[in-house]
Amino acid sequence: MQKAIEELITDELDTLYRGALFLCGGDGTRAEDLLQRTAAAAYRSGVGGGGSDDPHPLERLMVQQFVRDAGRPAPMGPSTPVERPAQPASFGTMTPDRLHRAAARLPALARAALWLILLRRWSYADAARALGMDRDGLLTTLLWRDAFVAALVQTGGSSTRSAAE
Amino acid sequence: MTQRDPLSCTEARWSLWPPEKPRLHAPESDRAWEHVRSCRACSRHFREDRAFVEALGDLPPIPAPISTRERIFHVIAEARAAIPMRTLRSLSDRRLAFGASAVVVITIALSVSVLVPKPGTPDTTASITSGAVVEDYLRRTVGEDYIDTTDPGVVTRFLERELGVIISPLSVPGLEIERVEICLLSGERAAMIRYTLNGEHVSHYVLPTPSGPEKGPSLTGAGSPATGGTLPVVTWTSPGAEHAALGDLDPSALLRLVQGRLDE
What residue type is B207 in one-letter code?
A: L
pLDDT-wise least confident of A120-134, B38-52, B118-132: B118-132
- pLDDT, residue B230, reads 54
What is the pLDDT confidence band of residue A103, given thresholds at 50, 70 and 90? very high
Amino acid identity of residue A40, one-letter, is A
Q: What is residue B226's predicted lDDT score, i.e. its pLDDT?
A: 45
Q: Which of A4, A6, A163 sits opposite B50 (nearest CB)?
A: A163
Interface of B with A in 205-264 (CB under 8 A): none
Which residues in chain B have their CB less than 8 angstroms from residue A116's CB?
none
Q: What local confidence, expressed as pLDDT, does residue B2 receive?
A: 46
Q: So what's the pLDDT on residue A157?
A: 52
Predicted local confidence at residue A158, as pLDDT: 45
Identify the band that residue B239 occupies on the pLDDT scale cut at 50, 70 and 90: confident
Determine the average pLDDT of the residues in A23-33. 96
- Kindly indicate the confidence band of residue A120, based on its pLDDT and cuts at 50, 70 and 90: very high
The values of phi and psi at residue B249, to 5°, are -75, 160
In chain B, % of residues over pLDDT 90: 21
- More reliable by pLDDT, B126 or A34: A34
**Residue B242: beta bridge partners?**
B207, B237
Are residues A139 and B38 in contact, defined by beta-carbon separation less than 8 angstroms?
A: no
Give pLDDT tens digits for B27-58: 888 899 999 999 999 999 999 999 999 999 98
Residues of A in contact with B59 (CB under 8 A): 94-96, 99
Q: A93 vs B58: CB contact, 8 Å cut-off? A: yes
Q: How many CB atoms lie within 10 A of CB B231?
A: 24
To the nearest whole number, what is the mean pLDDT of chain B?
Answer: 73
Nearest residue of chain B to residue A97 (CA atoms): B59
Position A86 confidence tier, pLDDT thresholds 50, 70, 90: low
Q: Is B4 helix (H, G, I), strand (E, B) or coil?
A: coil
pLDDT of residue A156: 67
Question: What are the phi and psi torsion angles at A114 (to 5°)?
Answer: -70, -35
Name the more confident of B24 and B147: B24
Which of A31-40, A115-124, B13-22, B129-138 shows the lowest per-residue confidence on average (mean pLDDT)?
B129-138
Cα B176 to Cα A46: distance, rounded to the nearest angstrom: 35
What CA–CA distance (Å, rounded) separates A92 from B90?
A: 56
Q: What is the pLDDT of residues A33-85, one digit of tens each?
A: 999 999 999 988 888 666 567 788 999 999 999 999 999 888 888 887 777 77
Q: Do B47 and A164 lie within an 8 Å CB cutoff?
A: yes
pLDDT for the residue numbered B121 = 41
Nearest to A124 among B17, B60, B189 (CB): B17
Express each pLDDT in B157-209 by its tens digit: 778 777 778 888 998 888 999 888 877 766 667 888 999 988 888 999 988 88
Q: Quick one: average pLDDT of B66-83? A: 84
- Phi, psi of A5, deg, nearest 5: -60, -35
pLDDT at B123: 41
pLDDT at residue B131 greater than cutoff 70? no
Whole-number pLDDT of residue B224: 45
B190-196: long-range contacts (C-beta < 8 A, 24 or more apart)?
A: B190/B136, B190/B163, B191/B158, B191/B159, B191/B162, B191/B163, B191/B167, B193/B155, B193/B169, B195/B169, B195/B170, B195/B247
Contact of B144 with chain A, judged by CB distance below 8 Å, is answered with yes
Which of A7, A17, A35 lies at the smallest CB-CB distance from B146?
A7
Give me the sign of the Cα torsion angle A48, A49, A54, A60.
Answer: negative
pLDDT of residue A124: 95
Q: What ipTM describes this predicted complex?
A: 0.88
**Orientation of helix B27-38 relative to helix B40-56, angle to 10°:** 100
Residue B85: pLDDT band with limits 50, 70, 90: very low
pTM of the model: 0.59
Chain B residues whose beta carbon lies within 8 Å of the beta carbon of residue A43: 76, 79-80, 83
Answer whether B51 sits within 8 Å of A165, measured CB to CB. Answer: yes
